[in-house]
Chain A
């Protein structure tokens, strides 16, 4: 039997940061993730923005956490060895309705203590972002907005948790939770765990996890969003995060100059069939294109290299319909961060955490960890906790002279595998050998950036499969793209052949 003080369910951004912050206390902790890698759910498909906090209602937990998190984000990323681009943001609008919203957000920002927030005249907007449509009527600038690669951040937090003693168990799906006198038993198929407390960070499935121990109170109703990614060749087109406040439509456009130098465009708002359905829609993609032509007409969409779909976890309070016995949602969704505490045993749930969940991941993690430590009864803090996670070697960030030295020490850093992003075999092997390391092609991609360039992996995927197979001592046919079932090569004699 595996016994823990706390088990975190779900290895997305929130689970990874919950685990990291639990290590600040003397708590034996495990994180259980059902898939083959971390950060493959909502944390894989989002807008990657660190919000400065003027969107949220002043005084709420969300606003307070967000403003603080944005101001400290550079420090957090430095601690975790994660790349962060504090590029600032400009919200733009093209008419009176938008202008009113911007002024309101400006006031909110002032009240919440957003640093350096200011309104910009059209000339000032165009000076900072000359490619914005000259029809712009007002801008709202904040310096504390930035962009980060979400999975890079989440994986770094998980590595840090592991370095501080947490267990990270992949391929471990929580099926049942049985209350015990002094905690819970968690059944994951072939494995069973016992724990005193649970932190539920199961993302889109957090309500289902909660319902394993209590009657339904809240449920998640998904909606979808589409994104486009442009090649780095289009990268210079903007230098800030651009938010567009629309006049007539509900949903404006967001443009992000990513850490890797691409432009991310999105998201649209579309209905989605099921929670696991990360798929793009024709309507969404068309809507994005038409918004682009309004907001930033010269954006070279011919440099499109990829589109992807996201799923939003919209939480709603539910009540039981007396006639049908079914649970039905309230009319309006919940807008605050939903952090539920179930009694009598320590069970905390983060449910339907949408934007700015990425920004606040560390704050939320620290919040639930502190709460859990209190629930478990005056747990002492861990004096040995080390917040620093050594950053992986990234040759592209080094000077030629430094690179030359590293290649001399290990020639594998000289062999370029991903030609578009110029990622070496040495970096790929590192990403596999780190703990928790990559076991899938997308796992390598998330850790190194390989396959995210303009050829989208057509040159390097085979080589990466072969390196993974060699490192894990298995056959290439056993290497998956991203999860069980996503085979790339058929097993001889297998059913697919």
Chain B
């Protein structure tokens, strides 16, 4: 290998490792009583899916909303692409736990809503929205209303809306928690497939150990209130096999077991 080629490799690997989102000394209090997060320091590398895993009430949603710019931090700061976060930005898109779809708008309008708010002309934004509706597997449902869709389908609309604004970072707050188990697995597989097409950095909140291990490049374990980073785990599971094979893989099972042992102390 030539020196030049080596230099290029070094740069590109440095690029890959460069964090898109940096969280520095972050703390959050609600009022004077509730301390939701304490002294969080985290890097989220570009192109990776990082899960925030922890018991209910440990501050996962709070952390994600602070990164999204929807909540102010009490201490510390968040940087996205080196810029300090002071509010929502075009490089971040949120997928909500309760879907947050407009009940009075069709699937197309919902998926295009982020672009509508940015003033993109209607023909253009609906074209983009239709593309992503197709990508999440909802072709044929463009003119339906949310109440006509199942929970899983609604969250696919939420995902299409987040993809349509072409943000670098997708913030997903327990996107599958209101989806039944069967559809959840299907959706998880689809999310993995989508990741190969769309090069995004994903920050994914979940309280399911299996889900985190199945999907993530990195798992951040949070301790109960006040939420702190207790461990960062990299599952290193090769994903070029079938979902069933992955779920029977020893690396997968071992990681689930390790995390479970780590979290068991917190179970009440």
Answer yes or no: are A and B bound together in one complex. no
B interface residues, Cβ below 8 angstroms from A: none
